[in-house]
Amino acid sequence: MGNVTKYDMYLFGEGTHYDIYKKLGAHPGKRGKTSGVYFDVWAPHAKNVWVIGSFNNWNEKKNPMKCLGPNGIYEAFVPAARQGDLYKFLIETESGEMLYKADPYANYAELRPGTASRVTDIEQIRWTDQAWMEKRREHEDVYDQPLSVYEVHMGSWRRHPGSEDDGFYTYREIAPQLTEYVKEMGYTHVELMGIAEYPFDGSWGYQVTGYYAPTSRYGTPEDFAYLVNYLHRHKIGVILDWVPAHFPRDAHGLACFDGTCLYEYADPRKGEHPDWGTKIFDYAKNEVKNFLIGSALLWIEQFHIDGLRVDAVASMLYLDYGKQDGQWVANEYGDNKNLEAIEFFKHLNTLIIGRNPGVMMIAEESTAWPMVTGKAEDGGLNFTYKWNMGWMHDFLDYMKLDPYFRKFNHNRMTFAMSYNYSEKYILVLSHDEVVHLKCSMINKMPGLNEDKFRNLKVGYAFMMGHPGKKLLFMGQDFAQLGEWSEERELDWFLLEKPEHRQIQEFVKELLHIYKKYPSMYHMDDQMEGFEWINANDGDRSIFSFIRRGKTGRNSLLFVCNFTPVARPDYRVGVPKKKQYTLILDSDEARFGGEGRERPAVYKAEKSECDGREFSIAYDLPEYGVAVFKF
């Protein structure tokens, strides 16, 4: 009996073999009483296929593979092969060309610049995160949970100083340090960039060759599982970047896999991204959809990942994305929607969330495509969340302005609330905003040194108070000065300077307030969760608003001043004649403020303001932030 059965082949042909990663690839096993490794690969247009590797001294003809049936799965059982062996598939095409291909379903790869796959057995990984996994299943309504994400590129978070090689921390080495940092700061999740195996460091992991393999840059699949397990045991969720939009042309990868366009669309107008120089998956082929769905399920079910952030969704939805006239072909209705990709997303998201309650599917979708987070049965794509790129652009455009000109651009900060309830959003300040030539967050701010820090603090406070879950890229929480580069670690030495420690302390306070008060996250996507007190104070560039939770207890009032003008006589309207307790004052000395004494409690007076009967008076400093609970 072989490894792959007729039933496996049938399900794969239908695109519904959800455990396909347990069948295709390399799997240690037995034939009769003989131990060895089963190798299986899908190559329907191949003339011949061999498996070659360290177990047969790369002898090209020693281990031929047998075609099991009409859908072109080839299999070989190799008694000499063992865990840790390197291997490739040698594919003879119909034209007689010889292709040396890495295993698309491999769980482990040779360290770059090597391109071979490595035999491993991820079924043997031991987990001790049962408490986290059970809680995840119980919390299937993720929307009323806090979500503040720390986006991390592992290879440049920290590095070993002066080491001979890359200086990368391994998955095991980084686990305690990253966990301690994330817990202390108050983030709820980490989002890891560049985990699925990829050849070129400069792609940051967005041009994937190993959709089933954690990159070997930082260790083994067991080491990666150790990191996830460690974070879970300390109550930190893990999100991964996942890239089903395109793949690189590298000779050992998926491109022209069996001598034909197997994984990509055959028509280059559908199958190639001119801007990126990459190939586009053929979402019409059941086996290709199965390959991608199997990859997503592997990360979630085998590696216990809590969410996938799906990269470049817009490039999949639009046939003309990044293309000129003549470079794309319309669908059967004559428009630019990729109907196959739309169906793929509905299938993928419904399946993953249905099988794994509490798991999130997050779309990085940069256009106004409707109902990205809408239910599939209503015509939506069924993502859990969508990155709010519109908010990000408006926010950054506003923050870059000289404070004098902000009054003419006041609506940039209020506009996002006009569409806030159309999707379930995450507000993001991601790696893309702080890379080459885009400036770090602190250097986007106007003014000289001290003003830059005060601007950034009020900006972060506004972001934390605004409806939507949160994401911040590493380094921005302590005002990294330089742009991010994958080639070096963050400038941790900046924390020796008081102004960097103070902004980090301020972000930490914001994150802990966010987690502590359900009014900050309970009703992000419901009108009852947010209310403007004054959205129109453009002349003074002050924004005031209320956040509410389901119970109405501990509602929060935010006041944010975006100019260097102090307002000692500032008055803000309030909804009730109650006491208002100051829980965040940006003027505290530990945040770099003047440290002026202020009352802790403010009683509402019967004094009309902002169209309300009651109000409180507060001494609002320049670039001041005040948050009150009531």
Question: Which residue from 133, 47, 186 is spatially nearest to 505, judged by alpha carbons?
Answer: 186
- How far are the Cα atoms of 101, 381, 470, 519 from residue 385, in angstroms, in the given order? 36, 11, 11, 19
Cis peptide, bond prior to residue 113, ω within 30 of zero: yes
CA-CA distance, 113 to 125, in Å (whole number)? Answer: 27
Rounded distance between C-alpha atoms, residue 389 and residue 368, angstroms: 10
The angle at the Cα of 91, spanning 89 to 97, to the nearest 5 degrees, equals: 140
DSSP 8-state assignment for residue 263: S
The burial class, CB within 10 Å (0-12 / 13-18 / 19+), for 67 is: middle
**R_g over Cα of the chain:** 27
Cα pseudo-dihedral 473, 434, 486, 215, rounded to 10: 40
Q: Identify which of 477, 613, 612, 462 has the alpha carbon closest to the alpha carbon of residue 547.
A: 462
Inter-residue contact 570 to 622 (CB < 8 Å): no
Which two tokens mark 94? Answer: 């119909």
| Contact present, 281 and 247 (Cβ < 8 Å) | yes
Of 199, 189, 196, the closest CA to residue 248 belongs to: 199
Catalytic residue numbers read 311, 364
Kindly report the number of other CB atoms within 10 A of residue 95's CB atom: 7
Dihedrals phi, psi of 240, to nearest 5 degrees: -115, 145
**What tokens appear for 552 in the block?**
């109405």
- 3-state class percentages of the chain: helix first, strand second, coil last, to nearest 5: 30, 25, 45
- Both tokens of 69, joined, read 């049936």
Q: Are strands 360-363 and 86-92 parallel, antiparallel or unpaired?
A: unpaired
What residues form DSSP beta bridges with 579? 603
C-alpha 444/C-alpha 491 separation (Å) is 17
Taken in order 209, 152, 360, 462, the sign of the CA dihedral is: negative
